[in-house]
Amino acid sequence: MAKSVLVLNGPNLNMLGLREPQIYGTDTLAHIEALVAEEAERLGLAVECRQSNHEGQLIDWIQQAHGEHHGIIINPGAYSHTSLAIHDALKAVGLPVLEVHLSNIFKREAFRHHSYVSLVAVGVICGLGATGYRLALQALNEKL
């Protein structure tokens, strides 16, 4: 049976395309999810993509991934820098996690330089836009 990956996007990522295009580019989330689906098919992975602006919803999906998915790719948006609860949920389910950021968070404001999620991630990809999600799928595929 195909290994399954959950791809989560956090707050404000539903605004991609419109949101600060000089930082995040002009790709919409729908376009990124289509790229993810294409890459997953190429790799023989099953994939489920979800987005929420709500921390608790993201935590519910992370918890539900236990027994349903084999790995998680997450762009937690601003929750990366604030959410100990998302950190704890990812740690609790114990699945391999790849963290993705469209922008290079280290070239930006100091408050974006720390991520609670990085502490529980196998790896972090940032600054490569939509390509980061494709690379994360490839990396996770090698881990699974």
- Total site size for ligand DQA, rule CB under 6 A: 10
Report the DSSP beta bridge partners of residue 101: 126
Does residue 51 bind ligand DQA (CB under 6 A)? no
Least Cβ distance, residue 78 to ligand DQA (angstroms): 4
66 labelled catalytic: no
Judge whether 53 and 79 are in contact, CB under 8 Å. no
Q: Does 105 bind ligand DQA (CB under 6 A)?
A: yes
Which one of 18, 78, 119, 144 is in contact with ligand DQA (CB under 6 A)?
Answer: 78
Please say if 24 is a catalytic residue.
yes
Q: Which helix (H) or strand (E) holds 56?
A: helix 55-64
User: Of 46, 43, 61, 40, whose CA–CA distance to 3 is shortest?
Assistant: 46
* Spatial distance between the Cα atoms of 6 and 93, rounded to a whole number of angstroms: 13
- Residue whose pair of structure tokens reads 């956090």 in the numeric block: 10
Q: Does 75 bind ligand DQA (CB under 6 A)?
A: yes
Binders of ligand DQA among residues 8 to 27 (CB under 6 A) are: 12
Active site residue: 70, 101, 116, 133, which one?
A: 101
Least Å from the CB of residue 129 to ligand DQA: 9
Regarding 87 and contact with ligand DQA (CB under 6 A), the answer is no
As a whole number of Å, the CA-based R_g of the chain is 14
50 conformational bin, left if phi > 0, alpha if psi -120 to 50, beta if neither: beta
Residues at the site binding ligand DQA, with contacts judged by CB under 6 A: 12, 75, 77-78, 80, 101-103, 105, 112
| Residues designated as active site | 24, 101
